[in-house]
Chains A and B, each alone.
Chain A
Amino acid sequence: MADIITTSYNLKIESLFVDGDTRTQTLKNPRADITTADIQNLESFMRANNIIKGDKYGGTFGRIQTVKRVSETRTKLDFS
């Protein structure tokens, strides 16, 4: 048996709140073709509805600061 290598992808959306607090939301299996417009639409919706709050002081949502598509490779070692 050989080692088993798997790769998974996550989307990490970092939000900035007006009090300087930041939070990161992680979504599994992000699309490969996410556009700037997709993120801008999401940001507009989040701001219009103040949909999430800061987790330190309950701050008001300000904007999406960064969006990262992160790959994680796991290697299951073969000990047999």
Chain B
Amino acid sequence: MSSTSLKLVSSNAQTGAKINTSIPYVNESASSATLKQYGQMLNALTTNNYLQTDRVQTINVDTEEVPTGNTKPTPTITLTPSSLTRLQIFQRSTDIKVEWTGDYQGNIYTQSIEEYDPNVYIEDSGDDAGKTKMYFYHPGNQGDTGNWYTGTLTGIIMIPETANYSAATANFTVTE
């Protein structure tokens, strides 16, 4: 459980000594302006000089669950080039190099393009340093383009979420 409290900081008008007044369990949805106004209204009931109002978030580490906020880094995927013609894929004349930031070592997937042509595969580069790049290829014969979907295909390179990284995607296109 977490709770929000208000700390009113003022000073003694005679001695100048700081006075901290804690008001626990304030409405966590209240705006800072509202909390400030409340702090000033309370202080106005005293002879103290108003200094500031703080919003204080208290988290009980004994009972608090793991924060749900996603703090994992998201890899940045770079495709070079980010598009190919279908003939280039058939000819395997141009590879698409896929690079990403971080030390992610898991599998990388494609989406969408298989819906148009299940014969397009991605191939791990086999790089000794790890999966730092991969290539697209089509097992058909050169020039055998008859089964291709006509038009531009848009695919997505996807890194799935892992314990250390958020999911990441990048788009590539295959043109006629």
Footprint of B on A, CB under 8 Å?
11, 23, 25-31, 34, 38, 41-42, 45-46, 49-55, 58
Contacts and interface: CB of A to CB of B under 8 A. Distances in A.
Interface in B32-84: 34-35, 37-38, 41-48
Contacts of B23: 25, 52
B45 A45 contact: no
Nearest to B35: A51
A29 B26 contact: no
B29 to A, nearest CB: 8
Give the interface SS of chain A, mostly helix, strand, loop or mixed: mixed
Contacts of A55: 24-25
24 contacts: A11-B46, A25-B23, A25-B42, A27-B43, A27-B45, A28-B19, A29-B12, A29-B46, A29-B47, A30-B46, A31-B47, A38-B44, A41-B41, A45-B41, A49-B30, A49-B34, A51-B26, A51-B27, A51-B34, A51-B35, A53-B25, A53-B27, A54-B25, A58-B25
A28 B21 CA distance: 8
A42 B46 contact: no
Contacts, number: 61
A72 B38 CA distance: 26
Nearest to A32: B47
Contacts of A50: 27, 30
7 shortest A-B CB distances, which residue pairs?
A53-B25, A29-B46, A29-B47, A55-B25, A51-B38, A50-B27, A27-B46
B13 interface: yes
A38 to B, nearest CB: 6
